[in-house]
Amino acid sequence: MFDKTYYEVSLKKVRIEDEFWSRYVKLIETVAIPYQWDALNNRIEDAEPSYCTQNFKIAGGEHSGSFHGFVFQDTDLSKWLEAIAYMLEIHPNEQWEKIADEAIELIEKAQQESGYLNTYFTIKEPGAKWTNLRECHELYTAGHLIEAATAYYKATGKDKILKVVCKLADHIDETFGIEEGKIHGYDGHQEIELALVKLYEVTGEIRYLNLSQYFIDARGTEPYYFDIESEKRGYTKHFEDDFMYKKDYNQTHLPVRQQTEAVGHAVRAVYMYSAMADLASKMKDQELLETCKTLWNNIITKKLYITGSIGSTSYGEAFTFDYDLPNDTNYSETCASIGLIFFAHRMLKIEANATYADEMERALYNTVLSGMSLDGKSFFYVNPLEVWPEACEHSPIKAHVKAARQKWFGCACCPPNVARLLMSIGAYIYTVSENEIYTHLYISGRVDVELQGHKIGLIQKSNYPWSGVINFEVEVEATKQFSLALRIPGWCKSHTVMVNNKPVQVSIKRGYAFINREWENHDTITLELMMPIELMQANPRVRENAGKVAIQRGPMIYCLEEADNVPNLSTITLSSEFDLTASYNENLLSGIVEIKGTGYTVDEAESNSLLYNSYQLKEKPIEIKAVPYCMWGNREHGEMLTWIRYK
């Protein structure tokens, strides 16, 4: 399985010039990053306060006061700093680099001499460090800071924050492990594992890679560490939620290599799987890779929403059981889909298999983009597939579902997570091997790579996701033979490939169309992915969707909004007797392909006013309009529906 090595292309080598994605990248750079900095400094009116930078100032001795926020509040600043790093890597900005350097100063001052760094325990419970790993996220918090530091170092070359996290990682290495006198434990919320791999990649220090492997292999073994630490501290709790004490909640029910089903808190799960894939790749660990593949298959065949979201219950923000995918009470945390993208991307660096890129694309174009408003200033934590605002306001079981995005959250993990992913989206488009360039995502722009000592430029142009016609131009200094591998998405039933305007036969391997030839300067490739409107049905075991369809076109899932349709969306029925049509509307939601057609709705004027009555079908035809799911909730408050009745 490790017959090839696939390399991620540096952000510095990718330039995005795409009508769809450039808008999002610019939105993060010019709106979301400044907005989130204001949020971290409690400057957003009528929003939940963050206290994040204030905590660092107190921990560093600049201010006096008490800690505020969640025990993991530090991570909001870390993820924001990581987003800044990606921005500086592709668009240097002196003003924001100066602000980032000032934030790094705050972080450095908060670090203790031992290397320990966590504002909650520094300020509020200095004597309780490393005593409640199950609940208190100390290693999770450290992991996010390590990720930010490696990104910032790669972007700027400045090593102040890198030295801070190396000192922190060294402290963790001195504290945890199998050796006598060390803590034989691991964190309740996985994150440190994947962060340590990144630190190893930047520093070359093998201890960090070995420590990551320790945390993975210690998890779920006997004696059960979380019970041991709980007894030592007298069974005190940080949170009162009972689900935190269930072993499957934080994936400690079995040793990691024996796990076959995605269970528990969805974000924790996919962060752990991402680290497992990293370690499998670095260590050439076939057993760990097979575990990753088993867990991946369980998610995408039995526990994945059509929008690429995961986590079907608010109770523990978790997976439940196979095919349990409710639409109106699901959790589908934005961070969980981001974690799924991390997992998919890492698997692509082990094996170029389009199933990973397909699900990366599904999550990206649907749930992740849904997580942020079109103005970059409000966010969804939860991403439902059906919303009835009145129920959200009055039903306790739907209280977690919001009909409108929020300005900020007390637990604000999602907004900076969206920012860091979208700012680094260029790193997800391509991978390269010895003599191959793989295109996983269709985003216009340019990439420059080196294959066997030859510099190659690849220019991509398209109107994706609205059109399936993608054009490439090759730039080489001299004739060079290599393979260009273009992903044929799973949603695409038919495609054509032309080179220099002439049709060519291609070899399809694991979902990629391979074109191997002697390339000359300015050779062109045209890939046309047929993009009809598809009515999708769910597996019959998904009970909530029996007799219903979802509308898909290309990578986009569509939904109905009350703004475009009759109220009480659940009464709408699509019919095989009517066709749906797609057209571009530049004036709607910043420019989208909308889908229109005719359907039916219950004729309430003809219906009896009784609560229950003898069955009688009284319908009337109506015009319907569907918009991309990722853009719902950007207009007036109202209902939303993704799965629609069909006859």
**Fold annotation for 430-529:** Immunoglobulin-like (2.60.40)
What gap in Å lies between CA 634 and CA 494, rounded to an integer?
Answer: 33
- Give domain limits for the chain: 430-529, 533-646
* CB count in 10 Å sphere of residue 157: 8
Contact between 630 and 370 (Cβ < 8 Å): yes
Please tell me the predicted confidence (pLDDT) of residue 3.
76
Q: How far apart are CA 478 and CA 251, in angstroms?
A: 52
pLDDT digits (tens, 9 = 90+) for 423-466: 999 999 999 999 999 999 999 999 999 999 999 999 999 999 99
- Residue 95, pLDDT > 80, answer yes
Name the phi and psi angles at 317, rounded to 5.
50, 50
Closest listed residue to residue 633, CA positions, set 563, 584, 552, 576: 563
User: CB–CB of 462/33 below 8 Å?
Assistant: no
Is it the case that residue 519 has pLDDT exceeding 90? yes
How many Å apart are CA 485 and CA 645, to the nearest integer?
39
The pLDDT value given to residue 614:
84
Task: Measure the CA–CA gap between 219 and 252, rounded to whole angstroms.
Answer: 6
Mean pLDDT of 329-338: 98
Average pLDDT over residues 457-477: 98
Q: Which residues of 360-393 are buried (b: 16+ CB within 10 A; e: fewer)?
A: bbbbbbbbbbbbbbbebbbbbbbbbbbbbbebbe
Q: What pLDDT, on a 0 to 100 scale, did the predictor assign at position 572?
A: 97
Note the pLDDT of residue 4. 85
d(CA 363, CA 486): 19
pLDDT band at 103 (very low <50, low <70, confident <90, very high): very high
| Main-chain phi, psi angles of 425, to 5 degrees | -60, -25
pLDDT at 227 over 90: yes
- pLDDT, average across residues 534-542: 98
Which of left, alpha, beta for 632 (phi over 0: left; psi -120 to 50: alpha)?
A: beta
Which residues are the active-site residues? 317, 413
User: Does residue 1 carry a pLDDT above 80?
Assistant: no
Q: Which residues lie closer than 8 Å to 127 by C-beta, 6 or more apart?
A: none
Cα distances (angstroms) measured from residue 334 to each of 52, 412, 426, 458, 571: 21, 11, 20, 32, 29
Q: What average pLDDT score do residues 132-160 get? A: 98
Q: At what angle do helices 74-90 and 33-40 cross, to 10 degrees?
A: 150
Write the CB contacts of 394 (distance below 8 Å, at least 6 apart in sequence).
none
- Across 269-291, average pLDDT: 98
Q: Is the dihedral of CA 133, 136, 137, 139 positive or negative?
A: negative
Over residues 111-121, mean pLDDT: 98
pLDDT of residue 340: 98
454 CA to centre of own chain: 34
State residue 618's pLDDT score: 85
**Taking a C-beta distance cutoff of 8 angstroms, is the pair 103, 96 a contact?**
no
Q: In this model, does residue 608 exceed pLDDT 80?
A: no
Angstrom CA distances, 581 to 128, 573, 593, stand at: 62, 16, 10
In the chain, the percentage of residues whose pLDDT exceeds 90 is: 95
For the cut 90, the answer to whether the pLDDT of residue 320 exceeds it is: yes
Tens-place pLDDT, residues 379-426: 999 999 999 999 999 999 999 999 999 999 999 999 999 999 999 999
User: 138 exposed, middle or buried (CB, 10 Å; 0-12, 13-18, 19+)?
Assistant: buried
Nearest-angstrom CA–CA distance, 559 and 241: 34
Q: Which amino acid is at 396?
A: P
| 352 neighbors 2 (Cβ within 8 angstroms) | no
List helix spans (H) across 431-544.
none
Q: CA 256, CA 292: separation in Å to the nearest integer?
A: 10
pLDDT category at 606 given cuts 50, 70, 90 is low
pLDDT band of 266, cuts 50, 70, 90: very high
Rounded to an integer, what distance in angstroms lies between the CA atom of residue 496 and that of residue 375?
37
Query: How far apart are the C-alpha atoms of 341 and 424, rounded to whole Å?
Result: 12
Q: In Å, how far are 213, 237, 384, 569 from 613, measured between CA atoms? A: 63, 52, 31, 21
pLDDT in tens, 154-206: 999 999 999 999 999 999 999 999 999 999 999 999 999 999 999 999 999 99
Q: What is the band of 607 on the pLDDT scale with cuts at 50, 70, 90?
A: low
Tell me what pLDDT residue 604 has.
76
pLDDT value, residue 349? 96
| 3-state SS class at 560 | strand
pLDDT at 616: 82
